[in-house]
Amino acid sequence: MITHRSLFLRHLAQTSDAPLALEIEKASGIYLYTAEGKSILDLISGIAVSNIGHCHPAVVKAVQQQSETYMHLMVYGELIQSPQVLLAEALCKTLPSVMDRVYFVNSGSEAVEGALKLAKRYTGRRNLISCYNAYHGSSHGSLSMMGNEFFKQAFRPLLPGVSHIRFGAVDDLHLINEQTAAVIIEPIQGEAGVVMADVSYFHALSKRCKETGCLLIFDEIQSGFGRSGSFWYFEQLGITPDILVCAKGMGGGMPIGAFISSNDIMQTLTHDPFLGHITTFGGHPVSCAASLATLKTILSDELSLKARVKGEAFRKRLTHPAIVEIRGIGLMMAIELGDANLVQKTIAKALEKGLLTDWFLFKDTALRLAPPLTITEEEIEKACTILLESLSE
């Protein structure tokens, strides 16, 4: 019998031998609803995407209105499209005034690609630095910046001139020099298993970048859009990057990304060569409309601030002998169990009980905790009960 499941397995390119392969019929708020009639509490938000929940009414309305008005019109950068300009303005209002130019793309990897090209073009330098255990995407350029050999080695040759420093290690900052075009860093490392560094490290990093004339790129693709307890995590660090990249939660469920910088840096894409970065679909009007609705919802409902309180509520409830530590801030957290088998068992048990969680690409001993920021007190209580029961069984 032909089923959606059999078609999924036969015709969709697979990326592992063990896909979740749940058939989802509908998603709303923090719940996914399966074809078998089960409701599943989503504790990972499609990997830090559904920050305001699935199918938020403001996003649905924006998508409906914009798709009835116009969709794709022309390649990026030529025509004035109100969803793009209003979103760019709203984004810039969340940022220090020097960051006043937004380049819209379709995804996180593409935002990273644009940022790397921009840094090379602006500095005239070729070398790039990222951190060990960094995840910046899966395209050739962004994969080059990944700090993990296992996932990279089969795809070489990648970009030349790339080296890595240890996240949080001031001792490695001397490796940044006058040949470095940019350092790209996740201010909270996501796929490494939610790893944070001292505020003083970021000040030293920013100082070293300024001394050597290289650009500092912050990848806030996971930490941005309210997840860390402020709209951008870097607000909590007291430094400003030269280029900021964002995606994921930005679209409220629609695909969109951006790299953002100052006019001084960004204008280099307009000459030698002109059209220094081109995208057909970047800044798609429907995605921009969805993103603007998302941004407004996060600000008006004070979801960043609430993420802090809700993160604390999780921490308070999640005490169990198997939990070694809980890392992270706001609603970007990792529950460290120190045991990859236990992680897999807990994920399976939790799913049986109607809760979706996950592990991390470079950290299989921890559970991912990244629920929609709209999760309620009662839903946190329910999620923690399921997690604790799953750990105990």
Footprint on this chain of ligand PMP (rule: CB under 6 A)? 47, 107-109, 112, 135-137, 186, 190, 219, 221-222, 247
Q: How far from 244 is each of 89, 139, 216, CA to CA, in Å?
A: 15, 18, 9
Cβ at position 107, least distance to ligand PMP in Å = 4
Question: d(Cα 300, Cα 250) in Å, to the nearest integer?
Answer: 15
Cβ at position 80, least distance to ligand PMP in Å = 27
Question: With respect to ligand PMP, which residue has the nearer C-beta, 107 or 294?
Answer: 107
Question: d(Cα 283, Cα 127) in Å, to the nearest integer?
Answer: 29
Question: With respect to ligand PMP, which residue has the nearer C-beta, 217 or 384?
Answer: 217
Question: With respect to ligand PMP, which residue has the nearer C-beta, 197 or 221?
Answer: 221
Question: With respect to ligand PMP, which residue has the nearer C-beta, 50 or 390?
Answer: 50
Q: Which residues contact 106 (CB under 8 A, 6 or more apart)?
A: 255, 256, 257, 279, 281, 282, 284, 287
Cβ at position 193, least distance to ligand PMP in Å = 12
Residues facing residue 335 across a β-bridge: 326, 367
DSSP string, 320-353: -TT--EEEEETTEEEEE-S-HHHHHHHHHHHHHT
Question: With respect to ligand PMP, which residue has the nearer C-beta, 208 or 248?
Answer: 248
Question: With respect to ligand PMP, which residue has the nearer C-beta, 172 or 219?
Answer: 219
Cβ at position 188, least distance to ligand PMP in Å = 9
The pair of three-digit structure tokens given for residue 393, joined into one six-digit string: 């069984």
CA dihedral 227, 228, 234, 235 (to 10 degrees): 100
State the pairing for strand pair 332-336/325-329. Answer: antiparallel
Q: Which residues contact 333 (CB under 8 A, 6 or more apart)?
A: 194, 311, 314, 315, 326, 327, 368, 369, 370
Cβ at position 110, least distance to ligand PMP in Å = 7
Question: With respect to ligand PMP, which residue has the nearer C-beta, 314 or 362?
Answer: 362
Inter-residue contact 277 to 102 (CB < 8 Å): no
Question: d(Cα 241, Cα 261) in Å, to the nearest integer?
Answer: 8
**Closest residue by beta carbon to ligand PMP:** 108
- Which amino acid is residue 314, in one-letter code? F
Cβ at position 221, least distance to ligand PMP in Å = 4
The pair phi, psi for residue 57, each rounded to 5°, is -55, -35
Inter-residue contact 164 to 152 (CB < 8 Å): no
CA 323-327-331 angle, 5° bins:
110
Question: d(Cα 257, Cα 260) in Å, to the nearest integer?
Answer: 10
Cβ at position 245, least distance to ligand PMP in Å = 7
Cβ at position 254, least distance to ligand PMP in Å = 12
Question: With respect to ligand PMP, which residue has the nearer C-beta, 135 or 259?
Answer: 135
Question: With respect to ligand PMP, which residue has the nearer C-beta, 191 or 379?
Answer: 191
Inter-residue contact 249 to 56 (CB < 8 Å): no
Cβ at position 248, least distance to ligand PMP in Å = 6
